[in-house]
């Protein structure tokens, strides 16, 4: 166990003290061991959150930013969520489309930051930054990352009403 943790921290350059929670929902059925290094969440340093937000805002505000090409909203993830906490339901209730979501991303700030997660679906993961933003009196859970592919884009993994207080 300690060996796995040390290799994780060497790869991601984060200290063990920064970890605040572990998502253990996906346990290997065959050997009953949890691959904890794939499900870690922690609190990033303020300067790291500021750097992420600066990059996000600069990317969105570029003249050549095209929502159709540079923004991905993970609607497919709705199948794993309760209806009232799905992206489609939240967008319907708020009267939002992708343009509105990008406008919300432009206004995110450090005080709305909640935690940082490791993308378990990627072998060289970009970090997922989680924010809680109050919109029309309801808290919305927002999980985003900046992806590097042939071209950089924004992946909004979650944009739905928060199930729990953030």
More confident residue, 142 or 124: 142
Taking 90 as the threshold, does the pLDDT of residue 151 lie above it?
Answer: no
* C-alpha gyration radius of the chain: 16
* Closest among 88, 152, 86, 141 to 113, alpha carbons compared: 141
- What pTM value is reported for the model? 0.76
Q: Is the pLDDT of residue 147 over 80?
A: yes
Sort strands 127-135 and 113-118 into parallel, antiparallel or unpaired: antiparallel
Residue 153 forms beta bridges with which residues? 147
Strands 71-73 and 113-118: unpaired
Using one digit for the tens of pLDDT, what is the confidence trace for 42-101?
A: 999 999 999 999 999 999 999 999 999 999 999 998 988 999 999 999 999 999 999 999
């Amino acid at each position: 166990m300690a060996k796995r943790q040390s290799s994780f921290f060497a790869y991601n350059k984060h200290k063990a003290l920064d970890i605040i929670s572990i998502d253990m929902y996906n346990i290997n059925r065959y050997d009953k061991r949890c691959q904890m290094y794939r499900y870690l969440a922690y609190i990033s340093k303020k300067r790291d959150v500021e750097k992420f937000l600066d990059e996000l805002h600069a990317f969105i505000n570029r003249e050549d930013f095209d929502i159709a090409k540079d923004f991905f909203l993970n609607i497919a993830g709705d199948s794993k969520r309760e209806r009232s906490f799905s992206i489609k339901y939240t967008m319907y209730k708020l009267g939002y489309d992708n343009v509105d979501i990008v406008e919300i991303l432009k206004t995110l700030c450090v005080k709305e930051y909640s935690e940082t997660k490791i993308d378990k679906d990627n072998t060289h993961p970009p970090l997922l930054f989680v924010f809680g933003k109050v919109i029309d009196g309801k808290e919305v859970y927002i999980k985003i990352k900046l992806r590097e592919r042939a071209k950089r884009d924004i992946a909004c993994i979650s944009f739905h009403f928060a199930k729990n207080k953030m």
